[in-house]
């Protein structure tokens, strides 16, 4: 085996029907249901059209900064609905991809990308309609030499992504839901969403109970000063 130049099969992935259910939920509510312990950091921001929601199974790529050889291969391997997650070390010197690779991915039915690195052709990517999260933008193009690996565990600002995990993204950012936890988590997240909808309705009709604020303050010994 050549260290740093490996391509593995994806042995499992989150079900498409389950991914669609997650797509109907705010990322914030799913994150709350995961005890707010998982995040990909604030550097990854959306570079797609406003209102776009990204939800699909991960193909992971680990590559040296500024090199996209293995990203090209991941596009060739992708299945419809997949999200290609690229750990390029967060470096912004050279872009990992631009509009041409986006068009290739769209022909395969790829739902989107998460790039821990830079992109270019930002306007064209936004107009393409594909989901795109990246750490930044630069006009400097990529190299195509490798090394790199496909379908290995990657970590973005402490958020571990394994091949087949659910990648969920909206205007608040990106979240990874482990494949083996997705079935149980969707029930918690949908309940969280239902409770929030109920609370908003109570705010609108004036029946919301705000007594918990004073209760917590009193429990903590708050003092009201003149």
Which structure tokens are listed for 144?
């195509």
For 111-168, give the DSSP string.
Answer: -EEEEEEEE--HHHHHHHT-EEEEEEE-SPPPB----EEESS-EEETTEEE-TT-EEE
Residue 4 is predicted with a pLDDT of 85
Host H or E run for residue 55: strand 54-63
pLDDT tens by residue, 165-184: 999 999 999 999 999 999 99
Least confident of 20-29, 35-44, 100-109, 152-161: 35-44
pTM: 0.94
Residue 1 is predicted with a pLDDT of 60
In whole angstroms, give the CA distance from residue 13 to residue 179. Answer: 6
- Which residue in the block uniquely carries the two structure tokens 């470096």? 91
- Which residue in the block uniquely carries the two structure tokens 């259910």? 21
Q: What are phi and psi of 162, to 5 degrees?
A: -110, 155
- Please tell me whether 100 is known to bind a ligand: yes
- Please tell me whether 99 is known to bind a ligand: yes
- Please tell me whether 206 is known to bind a ligand: no
Using pLDDT thresholds of 50, 70 and 90, give the confidence band for residue 41. Answer: confident
pLDDT tens by residue, 107-126: 999 999 999 999 999 999 99
- Please tell me whether 120 is known to bind a ligand: yes
The answer to whether 57 and 19 have CB atoms below 8 angstroms apart is: yes
Question: Is residue 177 classed as helix, strand or coil in its secondary structure?
Answer: strand
């Amino acid at each position: 085996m050549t260290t740093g130049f490996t391509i593995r099969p994806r042995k499992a992935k989150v079900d498409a029907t389950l991914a669609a259910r997650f797509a109907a939920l705010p990322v914030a509510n799913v994150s709350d249901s995961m005890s707010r312990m998982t995040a990909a950091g604030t550097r990854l921001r959306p570079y797609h059209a406003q209102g776009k929601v990204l939800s699909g199974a991960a193909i992971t790529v680990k590559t040296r900064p500024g090199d996209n050889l293995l990203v090209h291969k991941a596009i060739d391997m992708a299945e419809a609905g997949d999200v290609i997650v690229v750990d390029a070390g967060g470096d912004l010197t050279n872009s990992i991809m631009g509009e041409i690779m986006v068009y290739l991915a769209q022909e395969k039915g790829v739902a989107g990308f998460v790039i821990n690195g830079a992109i270019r052709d930002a306007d064209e990517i936004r107009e393409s309609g594909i989901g795109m999260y990246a750490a930044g933008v630069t006009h400097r193009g990529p190299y195509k030499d490798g090394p790199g690996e496909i379908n290995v565990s990657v970590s973005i600002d402490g958020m571990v992504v394994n091949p087949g995990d659910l990648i969920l993204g909206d205007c608040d950012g990106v979240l990874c839901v482990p494949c083996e936890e997705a079935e149980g988590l969707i029930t918690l997240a949908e309940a969280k969403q239902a409770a929030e909808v109920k609370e908003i309705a109570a705010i609108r009709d004036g029946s919301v109970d705000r007594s918990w604020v004073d209760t917590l303050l009193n429990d903590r010994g708050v003092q009201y000063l003149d």
